[in-house]
Amino acid sequence: MITRLLVANRGEIARRIFRTCRELGVSTVAVFSDPDADAPHTREADVAVRLPGARPAETYLSIEGILGACRAAGADAVHPGYGFLSENDRFARAVLDAGLTWVGPPPEAIAAMGSKIAAKRLMAEAGVPVLPSFTDPGAVAPGDYPVLVKASAGGGGRGMRVVRDPADLVRELDSARREAASAFGDGTVFVEPLLEGARHVEVQVLADGHGTVWALGERECSIQRRHQKVIEECPSPGVTAGLRARLQEAAVRAAETIGYVGAGTVEFLVKGDRVAFLEMNTRLQVEHPVTELVYGVDLVRLQLEVAEGGALPAAPPEPSGHAVEARLYAEDAAYVPQTGVLRRFEVPGEVRVDSGVESGSAVSSHYDAMLAKVVGYGASRPEAVRKLVSALRRARLHGLTTNRDLLVDVLLHPDFQAGRTHTGFLSAPLPARAAPIGAAGLAAALAGAAANRGRARVLGSLPGGWRNVRSQPRVARFEEAEVVYDPLPDGVTAVSVSPGLVVLEQDGVRHAYEVADYGDGTVHVDSPAGGVTLTPVARLPEPVERVAPGSLPAPMPGSVLRVEVEAGDRVAKGQPVVVLEAMKMEHQVAAPADGVVAAVHVEKGQQVEAGAVLAIIEEGDGDS
């Protein structure tokens, strides 16, 4: 029996596993890097051990560090989580060699699927359908385009590039190799045809050491940005009973071929009746909650029981209902990760929330920007989607820009509602919508005025802005809108006003707005219609440092990976100027227009903060 389990991961992954351990009475050990010293997962474990290391992103990857933590805490088992070391066969062997229980597949199975190139070859030999792949760029014929460059040793969108023009292939291969080497320690990449318009569908498998292999239906994972999943659901709205049987048969065959034990996921591209194997993730997936809700199982519990030598029943439980998961990220509309303090984090409603953060958590540039997974479950797909949309709209997410609005827009999109999803769904921007300022702005203005009166040191009983003779309306100015709040708009009555809550009545219908001002230059307004963040314009603004016209600011904190130009170079619009690395991914900062490089302010290896000026581009020919 497992008595004390160390989870070799962080954030929501560790918290998810600890939750099952508490239910089973298994003692838990958390590990943490210096930036995570106060993270929620360190407090929820029975004991926590600091991992040594000067580079935070690498501390969780130290095999010796993890084994040292096991010895220090007296752990007798290791769960690798579902990231970082979870698909590292050397780590699995090291855990077993140390006499510990490994909650995962055999090292040989991990190694067999560790290289996508070798895995595709093995699956083809086993009769599992695969797409052709090329390791030699010279073997890619003009008729093969568009193609996808992929990292052989990992996933999550890292080391992945879409190439439509043969002239771009070599450059994109080099970029993918660098990103893959940084993220996975292996820069091997390959090329395969891009199956446009296909669905990304995966099958959850679970196998014990006694020969039983379960296939727990399929998950639809087609809604992706930067080749990273954003919304997942179970079952897929586009998979028929016959296709489901084919997918499950292929997944079970893949697991049996490599002698798999434990939880894993076999991923496919599906277009019409065509099925093509992508890869096998030899771990639990981030999106496993949708399968748990539909099949009524705890996959972590089953992992632990299998690791202890237990046997699965002959057949898995029957599915019931539908589940949809949305990944809530700290990122802007351009998918750029955001850092800072999450002032408030609350997600209400009948949904499951797996998160690595809480109100007051600091979100750094060292790790992935995902804040939480919010999962709606219902008897039908529309019910699950409705619950999820309601929870996201009502969520209190203060202090950081998030992708909440994008998630809601996708979930309410007619094509998503109809189940017409594919991997290119977000390749083009969704229809723009006007920011729902309206009454929220009015509520923010009234709450701000009430707060000002509450702070008044003299004549506090007088109404704000009182005059014997009124000549002008009272106006609140925000960067997003200018709001007249006295007099109120026709048909609107202020039922009650306080700094934190405003109730407005319009045409006999009352609406309540919660208002939060943390003194950091933003005001957050929440209502059942959604959340709005406003930026007040100061009446007497402080002097600010100006930057030269044509300055290229860093969109996020990170490290300068490459400087592509020198002062005096001519550049074309869209040409890369500086390449940053943040969260193990490359981010290109490109020239906004044709021009000449007037100055370069950074060099390779330099750490920069968000907003730091990287270079200056003078538009035109550079002549003064």
> How many helices (H) does the chain have, and how many strands (E)?
15, 35
Cβ–Cβ < 8 Å for 358, 345: yes
pLDDT, position 119: 86
> Are 230 and 359 found together in one domain?
yes
Directed axis angle between helix 116-125 and helix 107-114, to 10°? 100
> Are 234 and 149 found together in one domain?
no
Total residues found in the chain within this entry: 624
pLDDT, position 624: 47
> Are 597 and 512 found together in one domain?
no
> Are 301 and 216 found together in one domain?
yes
410, part of any domain: yes
280, part of any domain: yes
- Render pLDDT for 357-380 as a digit per residue (tens, 0 to 9): 999 999 988 888 999 999 999 999
116, part of any domain: no
Strand order in the sheet with 274-281: 274-281, 262-271, 199-207, 213-225, 228-234, 322-329, 370-378, 351-355
317, part of any domain: yes
CATH number at residue 176: 3.30.1490.20
Give the helix, strand, coil percentages of the chain, each rounded to 5.
30, 30, 40
End-of-domain residue from the set 161, 177, 193: 193
> Are 574 and 529 found together in one domain?
no
Rounded-to-integer distance, Cα 43 and Cα 11, Å = 11
212, part of any domain: yes
CATH number at residue 214: 3.30.470.20
Nearest residue to 80 via CA among 307, 389, 346: 307
> Are 17 and 77 found together in one domain?
yes
> Are 224 and 306 found together in one domain?
yes
End-of-domain residue from the set 172, 193, 214: 193
The number of distinct structural domains making up the chain is 5
pLDDT, position 42: 97
The residues of the chain scoring below 70 in pLDDT are 154-156, 432-436, 459-469, 544-545, 583-585, 621-624
Nearest residue to 388 via CA among 337, 322, 320, 335: 322
488, part of any domain: yes
Directed axis angle between helix 241-257 and helix 116-125, to 10°? 110
End-of-domain residue from the set 499, 534, 569: 534
State which amino acid sits at residue 259: G
State which amino acid sits at residue 555: P
Burial 435-452 (b: 16+ CB within 10 A, else e): eebebbbbbbbbbbbbbe
Instruction: Give the pTM.
Output: 0.86
Cβ–Cβ < 8 Å for 84, 11: no
End-to-end CA distance of the chain: 77
Q: What is the dihedral of CA 270, 275, 278, 284, to 10 degrees?
A: 70
pLDDT, position 582: 73
585, part of any domain: yes
pLDDT, position 239: 96
126, part of any domain: no
> Are 167 and 209 found together in one domain?
no
> Are 276 and 166 found together in one domain?
no
CATH number at residue 69: 3.40.50.20
> Are 406 and 316 found together in one domain?
yes
Q: Report the SS3 class of residue 270.
A: strand
> Are 78 and 214 found together in one domain?
no
Question: Which domain, by its residues, includes 81?
Answer: 4-103
Burial class (CB in 10 A: 0-12, 13-18, 19+), 392: buried
Rounded-to-integer distance, Cα 110 and Cα 97, Å = 16
> Are 246 and 361 found together in one domain?
yes
